[in-house]
Chain A
Amino acid sequence: MSRPEDTLAADVHYDDVEARKYTTSSRIQTIQASMTRRALELLDLPSPSLILDIGCGSGLSGEILSQIPPDEGGPHAWVGMDISASMLDIALQRDVEGDLLLADIGQGVPFRAGTFDAAISISAIQWLCNAESSETSPAGRLSRFFNGLYASLKRGGRAVCQFYPKNDVQKKMITSAAVKAGFGAGLLEDDPDTKNVKVYLVLTVGGSAADGDITGVVEGMEGVDVLDARRKGKTTGKGEIKKGSKTWIIKKKEQMERKGKVVKATSKYTGRKRRIQF
């Protein structure tokens, strides 16, 4: 299956024709609706809230947010961000209730600290893994986005981002960028190992889930298996890392990566002494 991310930038790909096709396709509408409902289930909002819709497009997911009946904690108010003017144009024609912004999420999230109760993103953040110009890098765009998102959510807030990772490298790149921004992060996969796999990145700010653990989000949900791949033991504390050692080099590389610099991948050769040459 072809991936539009690989060929064009989001704002160029979703032109008037493509945006209309996307919005009128009943197949896409059903998939988007079911993913939005799943994301809302994960957000678990008890009362009407202010939600940020990242990559809102023509407002397919936002529409559902406005339609939640009062007995299920709705209706929610939402603000949508999207980079494609054509998509937003269709959202205007469809007369959605949320507020719309034309903005690039890779440039950050222009809201003041603690604005939103929650954030939702359906099929958008994989676009961040591609940088169209030489001035930006995927790592820099991801870090600006997650840092901005982290700041704009209130303490105890949650974000659920459904995305289509190209491969495990992308999945790891996105998750680690979120963790570096300070989120508690976990990946939820619906229908794993099938063609219809749906990946949800569940993010928490501060200790919202039970005792600050991300697995608390899915606690009590049916049919969810928790796979915890985290290291059991804590890493050694600060001050114990010897300058020039392998851990020290890896730490420095992570620091540089956080700044958005291009860093060579870590391998078994990292930090090894060179063989003596004659």
Chain B
Amino acid sequence: MKVLTLNFLTCAVKSCKSSSDSFPLHPKDAELAKDDVEINPQLLANVLPRLDWNALRTTSTELGFPSLPDQPPSPEDLTADEKMLQELHSLLMETQIMEGKLVCGHCGHEYAIREGIANFLLPSHLV
């Protein structure tokens, strides 16, 4: 699973919908892999305003990456700054969580990740 997707996923449990702790999900025992993906600057510029930058900073620290700047770059800065673009691309699109768990900060529910696929199936009493 890409770090980009993790920045959009919330806990699926019904009682967590109203809580702010249910986002972002915290990776646990994560095994990372790096895929080669062709860079797509337009896509990054399109997605950038929708990223939750604080959540992305939390995730990147939890996965052991160097810390990101305090403020997100503006789409114009990003297209101009080749290095920044490359770094964001490799974090968001190329880094894959292959094995591990995602833990909700509110209810503590653990979503298992196997072979890069997160299991979001819930038992019916949590829906």
Contacts and interface: CB of A to CB of B under 8 A. Distances in A.
Contacts of B119: 102-103
A101 B127 contact: no
Interface string A45-59: 001111000000000
A126 interface: no
A135 interface: yes
B80 interface: no
Contacts of A112: 8-10, 23, 52
Interface string A101-119: 1111001101110110100
B40 A103 contact: no
B43 A49 contact: yes
Contacts of B5: 79, 99, 101
Given A115-B50, A154-B50, A48 B42 contact: yes
Contacts of B43: 47-50, 76-77
A101 B5 CA distance: 10
A89 B118 CA distance: 12
B36 to A, nearest CB: 11
A154 to B, nearest CB: 7
Interface string B1-25: 1101100111110000000000100
Interface in A86-145: 88, 92, 97, 99-104, 107-108, 110-112, 114-115, 117, 133, 135-136, 144
Contact of A103 (B37, B47, B52, B120): B120
Contacts of A49: 43, 46
A206 interface: no
B124 A135 contact: yes
B116 A100 contact: yes
A97 B46 contact: no
Contact of A110 (B46, B50, B93, B120): B120
A99 B11 CA distance: 17
28 contacts: A47-B42, A47-B46, A48-B42, A48-B46, A50-B43, A50-B47, A76-B43, A77-B4, A77-B43, A77-B47, A79-B5, A79-B8, A88-B117, A92-B115, A99-B4, A101-B5, A101-B117, A101-B118, A103-B12, A107-B121, A110-B10, A111-B9, A111-B10, A112-B8, A112-B9, A135-B124, A136-B127, A154-B50
